[in-house]
Structure 1
Amino acid sequence: MTTTAEAGTATIPLDDLHASLADPLLDAMTFLNEVTERYPDALSFAPGRPHEGFFEPGDVHADLDTYLRHLREERGLSDSAVRTALFQYGPTKGIIADLLARTLANDEGLDVAPESLVLTVGAQEGMLLVLRALCATPEDVLLVSSPCYVGVTGAARLLDLTTVPVPEGPGGGPDPEAVRAAARAVRAAGRRPRAFYVVPDFANPSGTSMPVAARAGLLAVAAEEGLLVIEDNPYGFFSRQEGERPTLKALDGNRGRVVHLGSFAKTCFPGARLGYVVADQRVTAPDGRTTLLADELAKLKSMTTVNTPALSQAVIGGMLLRHGCRLRTANAPARAHYAANLDVLLRELERHFPAAERERLGVSWNEPEGGFFAVLRVPFTADEAAMERCAREHGVLWTPMAPFYPAGGGEQWLRLSISALDGRQIEEGVARLAAFVRAAAR
């Protein structure tokens, strides 16, 4: 620490702080928020947040009352015990694990014991806890599907963990054989490939999904290569078509190869900041004692956030009870809304960029089977400067893709999110974006 002589105030050189604070990755979301504030009238394809039309403030009170009634009438708690459950710190692993276990059984066919669950402060905390627990030495390496959600690569950066990207394949999601090759290359370099992070359904940022055969192949590769799979599943309910694909955790059964991360941000509401980890793996101590990985994660959590706010859990618990612990059914209107929005986006891209012009400009896009995101290739560098110019001159925002590529790349790709908009806004937004693309391509 140094002292500024003139003012007499202490200053800290950035070089004396953790190296991650100088990493541009940690500035990506801050810049996006700043640009959004500077151009409040711009139509924004940037945020991956849910549509606010599904939120009703009065439901918070009703859901809280529902959960308190559950504590009194179904669990037989006294008024004193209810008061303690709601206002005190509470157990580190959470207070609604029983309801969550019922919901996972109904929605995903997962048979998990409540004690194998940890309720977290958003899925982001779950990522940090899992990475900290699994990666024990500097030789441990995290494999990630690329392009990759910046939350997990950012968490790895904070923890000084090495990440190795595995590119998504043309069939959707990562190719299991590419995962195998990456794991063997890491091992050949004298390090341990510890786990592989993937969003198998409608991934952020690319919107891609893994076919069922590839999911089974990934689990086989993980078993053969001694990898754990960290499955992140925030978007699985939001398919464009009726029906569902099994999660990796469901396909894995009781083999303990998959640590499953979940979130209520998209299926309930993000303001609750509530996520969870399914960590039913057995951990054996040197003296022969065994615990669940969930118990070990709880130890880490007790030294960070202590516990997850009981009020948030109570409100979400009330929502689960109100819908019979069936969030997939409860989210049917949201699924239809996002599917319709994605259809509008793809239709409007086709309309504004007919085949001949696409070929002339070098424009292309993918067609996700669901979720919130699609990606667009453009004939220029789609960086922060281009995004701000687009907001200023054409009144539309999007997200540069380069930060999602841990090893570099993606400079001519941008992400389009349809979740926070309605159909008419998407139509107008694509028209503005098309005008910008043509202008920037000159």
Structure 2
Amino acid sequence: MRPTVTRLDRASLHGSLHDPVLGSIGFLNEVMQRHPGTISFAPGAPHPDLLPDTGLQRYVDRFVDHLVDDRGLTPERARRLLREYGPSRGLINELVAEALARDYGIAAGPGAVVITVGAQEAMLLVLRTLFGSPDDLLAVANPCFVGITGAARLLDIDVVGVRETADGIDPDCLAGLCAAARGAGRRVRACYVAPDFSNPGGGRMSLACRQELLRLAEREDFLVLEDNAYGFTAPSGCELPMLKSLDSTGRVVHIGTFAKIAFPGARVGYVVADQTVTGPCGGTRLLADELAVVKGMVTVNTSPLSQAVVAGMLLDHGGSLIALSRDKSRLYRRNLECLIAALDRHLTGAAPGVRWNRPDGGFFVRLRLPVPVTTGLLERCATEYGVLWTPMAPFYTDASGDHELRLSCSYLSPDQIETGVRRLARFLRTEVRP
């Protein structure tokens, strides 16, 4: 007699699995696999030429030497650390804290840092820890990175979108959302922003807007979740202070990643959470301590070997995040300049109503079309014109992105960018009618 095969009703699984936000990345990967010969402006991945071209062991050895020479461990103990689980909060916290203080003026000690499995885990840990009531709302810039909205959906956290202006998130809109939440018996618990060249919008928050956001967070009693994935691509001399470095009242939880400045395969990120948490008996600890508790139940720890590689790369550059990212920043600025110049040459007048933004840094340019940007339009562009891009609709909390697409230039060469934009112009001239 054959055994009965268990069948599960998908409707009985968590509702997030039906959410198009969670399916958007998988859909793009599927399209790329079906059209391997296309030029793809879809992935916001680091350029392959920037991946380490030497054996990773030398970086591990560099970190071990640091543990022995600078931290006083025996060679045996130092190497054993890399083969054990390790503490949930991380092994390289001191190096990261020192680099953030030296490079960006973020004065938080190693005890306020948790090393995570990429920035994505940092977002999940922060949301799970902070959002203790179903009445709590997460405010996000609109459009917004699907990693944070997807994590919120997994955790059943309600999200509200905040309008963006040319200077960044609109403080008046956010203040209105806070008031509306209070009126409904709820509260905005935190606001997520990527102030420097955000994914996917490419926008940058002005200094005045940063300062106003922090004042608003203090008045309305919410936390600011700062994602700093792309700040390193700012043109030299045009850097702006991070929100965390401007934070004088402990309102900012800062999230960072080594994916773009080291390499993504390491899967190492970090979160700076120096807020004080008061216990029922009056005792206090840091928010980072609470994040480490949650992490212990999610991934136990971040791979010690991955941390060692990243730390060795950081030490090779004098312990400086800026020095580690300098060559990468030059390449990405070159690619962005190539993309914008190619759009100016080939898309100007290609189709009525087509327009694009002109960010000064980051990986992304946003294109607006006079027609809805559908998956069918993407399939036709890939099949008949050999070029891929990303629909913007999943990045929005409303329907305002239905006519937009995102172009990423990070993974391509200048020649590929030029060819891809020519193909895109031909597609627009032929297929797009207002």
Q: TM-score, normalised by structure 1?
A: 0.95
- Structure 2 match to 1:375: 366
Paired with 1:61 and 1:79, the residues of 2 have a C-alpha distance of 15
Paired with 1:77 and 1:213, the residues of 2 have a C-alpha distance of 46
* Match status 1:189 vs 2:180: no
Paired with 2:421 and 2:404, the residues of 1 have a C-alpha distance of 15
- Structure 2 match to 1:343: 337
1:321 is aligned, of 315, 318, 327, to 315
Q: State the SS of the aligned residue for 2:56.
A: helix
Q: What is the CA distance between 1:7 and its match in structure 2? A: 7.2
* Match status 1:134 vs 2:125: no
Paired with 2:230 and 2:315, the residues of 1 have a C-alpha distance of 21
Structure 2 counterparts to residues 217-366 of structure 1, below 5 A = 217-253=212-248, 255-354=249-348, 357=349, 361-366=352-357
1:107 is aligned, of 100, 103, 117, to 103
Paired with 2:202 and 2:107, the residues of 1 have a C-alpha distance of 28
Paired with 2:54 and 2:331, the residues of 1 have a C-alpha distance of 22
Paired with 1:295 and 1:118, the residues of 2 have a C-alpha distance of 8
2:47 is aligned, of 47, 51, 63, to 51
| Counterpart residue identity of residue 404, structure 1 | F
Q: State the SS of the aligned residue for 1:165.
A: strand
Contact 2:313 2:324 in 1 (8 A): no
Q: State the SS of the aligned residue for 1:386.
A: helix
Contact 1:119 1:274 in 2 (8 A): yes
CA gap of 1:370–1:109, structure 2 versus 1, over 3 A, is same
Q: What is the CA distance between 1:350 and its match in structure 2? A: 1.1
Structure 2 counterparts to residues 17-32 of structure 1, below 5 A = 17-32=13-28
Q: State the SS of the aligned residue for 1:374.
A: strand
Question: Number of paired residues?
Answer: 433
Paired with 1:390 and 1:92, the residues of 2 have a C-alpha distance of 46
2:389 is aligned, of 398, 402, 407, to 398
Contact 2:64 2:79 in 1 (8 A): no
1:176 is aligned, of 171, 174, 180, to 171
* Match status 1:149 vs 2:145: yes
Contact 2:202 2:362 in 1 (8 A): yes
Identity %: 50
Q: What is the CA distance between 1:84 and its match in structure 2? A: 2.6
Q: TM-score, normalised by structure 2?
A: 0.97
Q: What is the CA distance between 1:73 and its match in structure 2? A: 2.0
Paired with 2:164 and 2:33, the residues of 1 have a C-alpha distance of 33
Moved more, 87-96 or 382-391: 382-391
Paired with 1:439 and 1:172, the residues of 2 have a C-alpha distance of 35
| Counterpart residue identity of residue 163, structure 2 | P
- Structure 2 match to 1:418: 409
Q: What is the CA distance between 1:348 and its match in structure 2? A: 1.1
- Structure 2 match to 1:66: 62
Q: What is the CA distance between 1:59 and its match in structure 2? A: 4.5
Per-residue Cα deviation, 1:288-337 (whole angstroms, up to 9, x for no partner): 01000000011111111011110000000101111011121232222121
Q: State the SS of the aligned residue for 2:77.
A: helix
Paired with 2:237 and 2:202, the residues of 1 have a C-alpha distance of 17
Contact 1:380 1:440 in 2 (8 A): no
1:198 is aligned, of 188, 193, 196, to 193
Per-residue Cα deviation, 1:58-91 (whole angstroms, up to 9, x for no partner): 2412211101111122222123312331000111
- Structure 1 match to 2:89: 93
Paired with 2:421 and 2:244, the residues of 1 have a C-alpha distance of 37
CA gap of 1:31–1:7, structure 2 versus 1, over 3 A, is farther
Contact 1:241 1:369 in 2 (8 A): no
- Structure 2 match to 1:162: 158
- Structure 2 match to 1:212: 207
Paired with 2:304 and 2:92, the residues of 1 have a C-alpha distance of 9
| Counterpart residue identity of residue 373, structure 1 | F
After superposition, the CA RMSD in angstroms is 1.4
Paired with 2:416 and 2:11, the residues of 1 have a C-alpha distance of 44
Contact 1:123 1:275 in 2 (8 A): yes
| Counterpart residue identity of residue 219, structure 2 | E
List gaps (5 residues or longer) in structure 2: none
CA gap of 1:350–1:6, structure 2 versus 1, over 3 A, is farther
* Match status 1:441 vs 2:424: no
| Counterpart residue identity of residue 96, structure 2 | L
| Counterpart residue identity of residue 118, structure 1 | V
